[in-house]
Structure 1
Amino acid sequence: MESLSVDEQQAASSSSTSPSAPDTRPTSISPQKRRRVEDSTNAAPHASLLKRMGGPSAGKAGLALDQAEINRRIYEASKGSKYFENERRNDERITRKVEAMLARMDERLRAVPEGGPEWLAIEKKADALASKLESTRDLSRHIVHCDMDQFYGAVELKRDPSLKGKAFGVGKGVLVTASYEARAYGCRSGMATYIAEALCPHLITVPNDMQAYVAASQDVMSIFRRFDSNLAQASLDEAYLDVTDHCRINGVGVDDTIAELRRQVREETGLTVSVGVAPNTMLAKIGSDKNKPDGQFRLEATASDCIDFMHALPVRKVPGVGRVTERILQALGVETCGDIWRLRVRIALVLGDGDLEWLLRYNLGIASSIVEPGKREERKSVGREHTFQPTNDPERLLELLRESADRVAEDLKKLDFVGKRVTLTCKAADFQRFTRDQTQTGYVSQADDIFRITRTLLEHELKIQPGLSLRLIGARVSTLKDVR
């Protein structure tokens, strides 16, 4: 995610507002801002779609092209494709949702005028909620988020040093990552190769090697565990650590600890990692993007520093806030986490108290300070998927399904689980995702059984949809039983 500049941090610090320092700015949106919100919904039919198709590249630092130009190129390269039609349908659906919400907002604001008794009562309730949340803030831990730099690409660079300094992407058909040189042009993971090449005509693509990435991940995680044996691995290339006890036992400061962690990763694996340190997991994850690549950032463990840090942060930069949520919040006038406090009554009126609570957590910078591995009893399923160029070749689809079944069986054995429900996961060529499942009378874990069941489900689907073309296929086992 995008980091804050020094100027933005200083601006946030000087203008921050919080429950302990009531905001005296007007709560209503200015006519000019309201028109801008309406324009984002009612402008040219493809205006919101243009932005939507920019995807995660939107707002990234270091772009060689203007973001509007990146969006235009993605739009033009995708036009007429099944991907384009799927994105257009999604955009129209979200537009209708936003329009309905705006109508509801107008109705509620007419019924509850600003400064009236009901408005003040809601404001008082929101203030009490914020104070309650503030009482839960934990500033005692050094929580760390480690994020490997362009991980898949870095592994490929070790294999082929001639790629250094070049714009390249990993993956055929769909990119699983892009080098920083390619990202400068808007290329990103999850992007179709033909779109990436439209953004960056000199892009080099290399096939992915998941076995190599898993091996590299194991090497990195083994180093992380020297600093916290109870770490929470979030993916192959990122993990959360609590280094509080490590620092105390070894009598070393947190900055030196993180510098040592980064040194060991660099020297032992040839890879680099960016690290964020903060009092909780949310702030640490945002912080790990501050000094990428190969850098570290630490947020001071005070309530005011946490609030100031979040104040000017765009809501899209908060972990878990995607394109849909961002657009809904923007329609309410919420662009930054600081806007959440200013518009707290409006949010409560339109979205309700439940949504207001988690949004206030963003505003205050309050999240969990607990780092621990995922609990086995919380595991819901074990699955594998393959993404590929669309094909309606039954033999090719069965071949990929067999690979998925084999890997699911390997994972079940490694994790000591068996399951009763077997699911076939598919994404059609037009990007419509669907699943078909079958619950067994007994538990299954063997590859042959998983493949047999999913094959039957796939063959039935191909029979009722002749010529069905897929771009993703996978197998999943759920309703798990722990046999450890």
Structure 2
Amino acid sequence: MFFSELSELSSSTELFTLVPLKGKLNIRSSYHDTILIRAHAMARYLDAVIFSISEFVFASNMRGINLYKAGMEGLDAKTIDKIIEDNSKGSKFYENEVRRGAILKEQVARKLAKLRSLTKEEIDAGEKDADKLLRSYCTERRFDRCIVHIDMDAFYAAVEMRDDPSLRLKPLAVGSQSMLSTSNYLARRFGVRAAMPGFLGKKLCPQLTIVPPDFVKYTEVSRAVRAVLVEYCESGPPGLVVMSLDEVYLNITQHLKERADWPPAKRTYWPRAAPKTPMLVCRCAKATKDSGVADLLTTSSASNSPTKLSAAEEGNSNRDAPSNIVSLVVGKDEELATCLLCGMLIRSGPRVFGTSAEEAVREMRFRVFCATRLTCSAGIAPNSLIAKIASDWNKPNGQFFVEPTAEAVETFISPLPIRKVPGIGHVTECRLRAFGVERIEDLRKRRGALFHLVSHIGLAYYMRISLGHSEDDWVGPAASATATMGGTYLRGACQKSMGIERTFHDCADPGILHVKCRQLCLSLVNDMKEAHVQGKTVTMKFKLSTFEVRSRSQTLPDYTCTTAIISQCASEILRDEMKAELAENSKVLTLRLMGVRVSNLVPSAMCQQFRQETLEAAFNRGFQGDETMEPDDDDPLVTSAVSLRWKHSHQCNVAYLIRTTSASVTTKNTFN
């Protein structure tokens, strides 16, 4: 009834047309490509619009399945969502989602009310400002690089299946009853995914096997993977960026130039871990036969999309593969395909790889398998954004290549759902869809409205991804860093932050929480030392037993990668949070997740230079208005700099920690 009433009103006023799409609301202006409602008499109908959209937003927020996740395409989302909701009611998780849904509903209503007041002139002005950003990004785009994104397939689960073959044909998840870290592709066919409570996974798949995580083992395997990949990186600017244990970016531009002159012998590899070791080849007699397991892993959809996209393939860029598993063979590349039963390669004999980017990545993936007996997927593109999205295209055990041209990049990214973009989660997706943005190409179409609805940083981000452009600071600034240090390779200069977090059973014991905090800091410092970086800002992430997430930060006066300093800083933040919870809510702080992150990273070799620049800037500011040696109490940077000077030391000491005036909750929300 609501849709029919609003449609009648739209036809009489000729202000806008209404098209219901799959139960959602899509308002299209008849004279401008954005929502434009000006008549005061329509306010009551707009209230209904806001209610309808926000109810959709709330429903989406409660959704427990992401259909864009590799291995989960084509599932019955309604049935899965109903099982999740029915088994979540009354839980702390459900109550938290209800609370988040109410907040999101209010935010969307407020933004739509603002959208209602916009005039055509205001939207036109917003488009002009957005066009400036688009023109700027068009001139910044580069297509002379070859960036590769490597993503291990169901990493934690794959390691467990490798070490325990009895798990290969079972729906498997790694984690606990409280939270799952990952699931294998068989479990994903039941809707079981990462970041889902284990008890819900059991409801979706009663035969689900849950094994506890072993991060020591996963870290060792991750290092073995990186040992192979680093051989393909550039020797100048940082060519390897480790995002997590199972995810890496590589810049192989220079490698391809050198590879062009390599003889076939240098590009030939046998399927074995080392010379004179057994070949990693399948011995299963039934490897090519169908089975019930294969039926669970495949869908009735067409075979996966081609591994190469050219500008001529108009409209093909949204054909994401439902699965890259055919029968009991994982992968469609004959030379890299593996057996689902034993995990070994199907074909024996040596492999001779070519000199192109695709061939180099095939060789890379083959060598990773030989070193770890694990498969990985890859995306190859002119920048990291496109490479990241492309790596999800032919999972598992596949790769996808996007040609390095503006036309190919835009053809690839424009039709994609906005949820495909890294960093856009279900909350941001709900907000954007409420504003009429369903696909990436809609970001440009709705740019005039978005100009008034999001921050300048948010608008810049959306315009950038609408072009398929990635700034890739990890490549750019590294060049100057290398020149500054006389050609030294400063691995890790690209990363802005490094962090680690762990989920555990609800815990309110201060002693245990502090032990977990120190363990996290120790692991993080080891990662920082391995990446040769030091940081200055320590951030703690807390997820309470109520599923409320908090974040607190504290800045140090100097760069460090020392366990004692970072651990003490993190412990103080944790201690303050415990006191605040007791004082404000008269409750003991009970956590189910804790994370530590260090940001403001710089290469260890450049720390002294940064310290000197900071000291000089501090002294210059401190002495502009006062020639005395008394530090300015209102300027913590000057205070710390003068203190360091008085102590004749450039080393960070715990005693000189700069405490923030108030621990503020950080947020990634770009809409406020």
The TM-score by the shorter chain falls in which range?
0.7 to 0.9
- CA pair 118-426 structure 1, distance change in 2 beyond 3 A: closer
**Which residue is equivalent to 1:183?**
188
Q: Is the 8 A contact 1:242 1:371 kept in 2?
A: no
Alignment: residue pair count: 451
**Which residue is equivalent to 1:16?**
none
Q: Aligned equivalents of 1:153 and 1:260: distance in 2?
A: 24
2:362 is equivalent to residue 259 of structure 1: yes
- CA pair 479-256 structure 1, distance change in 2 beyond 3 A: closer
Residue by residue over 1:433-481, the C-alpha shift from the partner in whole angstroms, topping out at 9 and shown as x without a partner, is 3466788899874288568746754764686545543212456677889
- Deviation at residue 429 of structure 1 after TM alignment: 0.8
Q: Is the 8 A contact 2:175 2:212 kept in 1?
A: yes
**Partner-residue secondary structure (3-state), 1:427:** strand
Q: Aligned equivalents of 2:141 and 2:498: distance in 1?
A: 34
**Which residue is equivalent to 2:245?**
236
Letter in 2 for 1:291: N
Output the TM-score relative to the length of structure 1: 0.81
Q: Structure 2 matches for 1:281-320, cutoff 5 A?
A: 281-320=384-423
Greater mean deviation of Cα atoms: 152-161 or 51-60 = 51-60
Q: Is the 8 A contact 1:233 1:239 kept in 2?
A: yes
**Partner-residue secondary structure (3-state), 1:138:** coil
Q: Is the 8 A contact 2:540 2:570 kept in 1?
A: no
**Partner-residue secondary structure (3-state), 2:151:** strand
- CA pair 352-368 structure 1, distance change in 2 beyond 3 A: closer
Q: Aligned equivalents of 1:287 and 1:228: distance in 2?
A: 20
Q: Aligned equivalents of 2:517 and 2:511: distance in 1?
A: 10
1:403 equivalent among 508, 519, 522: 519
1:471 equivalent among 566, 589, 592: 592
2:210 is equivalent to residue 205 of structure 1: yes
**Which residue is equivalent to 1:6?**
none
**Which residue is equivalent to 1:157?**
161
1:346 equivalent among 442, 445, 449: 449
Q: Aligned equivalents of 1:417 and 1:234: distance in 2?
A: 14
**Which residue is equivalent to 1:174?**
179
- CA pair 133-454 structure 1, distance change in 2 beyond 3 A: closer
Q: Aligned equivalents of 1:479 and 1:286: distance in 2?
A: 27
Q: Structure 2 matches for 1:357-376, cutoff 5 A?
A: 357-368=460-471, 371-372=474-475
2:503 equivalent among 384, 387, 398: 387
- CA pair 41-275 structure 1, distance change in 2 beyond 3 A: farther
Letter in 1 for 2:173: G
Q: Aligned equivalents of 1:197 and 1:124: distance in 2?
A: 52
- CA pair 41-363 structure 1, distance change in 2 beyond 3 A: same
**Which residue is equivalent to 2:622?**
none
Residue by residue over 1:17-74, the C-alpha shift from the partner in whole angstroms, topping out at 9 and shown as x without a partner, is xxxxxxxxxxx97312597158885249865333223356234454574112222222
- Deviation at residue 228 of structure 1 after TM alignment: 0.8
Q: Is the 8 A contact 1:279 1:369 kept in 2?
A: no
- Deviation at residue 241 of structure 1 after TM alignment: 1.2
**Which residue is equivalent to 2:375?**
272
**Partner-residue secondary structure (3-state), 2:592:** strand
Output the TM-score relative to the length of structure 2: 0.60
**Which residue is equivalent to 2:116?**
106
**Partner-residue secondary structure (3-state), 2:137:** helix
**Partner-residue secondary structure (3-state), 2:180:** coil
- Deviation at residue 407 of structure 1 after TM alignment: 3.7
**Bigger Rg over Cα:** 2
Q: Is the 8 A contact 1:424 1:435 kept in 2?
A: yes
Q: Aligned equivalents of 2:404 and 2:427: distance in 1?
A: 32
- Which consecutive unaligned segments of at least 5 residues does structure 1 have? 1-27
Letter in 2 for 1:225: V
Higher helix share: 1
1:138 equivalent among 132, 138, 142: 142
2:336 is equivalent to residue 218 of structure 1: no
- Deviation at residue 275 of structure 1 after TM alignment: 0.7
Q: Aligned equivalents of 1:375 and 1:472: distance in 2?
A: 30
- CA pair 101-450 structure 1, distance change in 2 beyond 3 A: closer
Q: Structure 2 matches for 1:19-98, cutoff 5 A?
A: 30-33=17-20, 36-37=25-26, 42-43=51-52, 47-55=56-64, 57-60=66-69, 62-63=72-73, 65-98=75-108
**Partner-residue secondary structure (3-state), 1:264:** helix
- Deviation at residue 360 of structure 1 after TM alignment: 2.5
1:428 equivalent among 533, 538, 544: 544
Q: Aligned equivalents of 2:385 and 2:418: distance in 1?
A: 13
Q: Aligned equivalents of 1:361 and 1:305: distance in 2?
A: 16
**Partner-residue secondary structure (3-state), 2:140:** coil
**Partner-residue secondary structure (3-state), 2:117:** helix
Q: Is the 8 A contact 1:29 1:333 kept in 2?
A: no
- CA pair 48-381 structure 1, distance change in 2 beyond 3 A: closer
Greater mean deviation of Cα atoms: 213-222 or 351-360 = 351-360
- Which consecutive unaligned segments of at least 5 residues does structure 2 have? 1-14, 27-45, 261-354, 479-489, 606-672
Q: Aligned equivalents of 2:363 and 2:259: distance in 1?
A: 13
Q: Aligned Cα RMSD in Å? A: 3.6
- Deviation at residue 413 of structure 1 after TM alignment: 6.2
Q: Aligned equivalents of 1:338 and 1:480: distance in 2?
A: 34
Q: Aligned equivalents of 1:31 and 1:77: distance in 2?
A: 36
